[in-house]
Amino acid sequence: EDLLRMGPNSTIMEELEGQGYWWCRWCHMVQPPRAKHCKDCNCCILKEDHHCPFLNNCIGQRNYATFYGFVVFLVFLSASFVVGISLWLHFEQRHCWEQFGKCLESAPGTMLLTGAALLLDFVVSVLLLLVTAFALWHLFLIIWGRTTREVLTGRLSEYVEEGNSCCSGRGTSLIQGSAKVEFPDLKALGC
């Protein structure tokens, strides 16, 4: 029998669905609570937050902390760029602002550089505001213990433990690691 075409075992799934587990019809496997199948990555992601088109990767339980660190790094990088260019414009190019006509005639290259820096500073400032809002949104999600998908769809899992966010450890497991393993009697089976 083809294992990839097999459906779920109804007896097992009855028991597991009561605990929040589902059958993934694309991966043909049991899906833990809060896991979702990503059609872009073609796999199930534990505590999937979202699929990031910029990183071309799913953001979920295993890489959420790294993703959030990356977003915070982008905030600081953008802020340092905006502050640095603003200080350069204020201190180094001040004479061009005070004597605009004279600077334009005597050093058009400097004026072009100043204009390009001003435009770039404006664009990065707008991006800084957007990335900061994005970082604050994810901080809100971390504090509430929710994923982007859960908040935006309004479908909150009833199997979410309080304070359990994408940055926390894994939830319940299908494997009972501390249980005693009982091996079948091979002699009784005729082996």
**DSSP assignment of the chain, as one string?**
--GGG----HHHHHHHHTTT-EEETTTTEEE-TT-EEETTTTEEETT--EEETTTTEEESTTTHHHHHHHHHHHHHHHHHHHHHHHHHHHHTSHHHHHTHHHHHHH-HHHHHHHHHHHHHHHHHHHHHHHHHHHHHHHHHHHHHT--HHHHHH----TTPPTT--TTS-----SS-TTSPP----TTTTT-
pLDDT by residue (tens digit) across 169-179? Answer: 555 565 666 77
pLDDT for 82 equals 95
| pLDDT at 184 exceeding the cut of 80 | no
- Give the predicted TM-score (pTM) of the model: 0.72
| pLDDT 10s digits, 94-150 | 766 666 666 666 777 777 788 888 899 999 999 999 999 999 999 999 888 888 888
The more confidently predicted of residues 8 and 79 is 79
More confident residue, 185 or 26: 26
Q: Which residues are catalytic?
A: 52
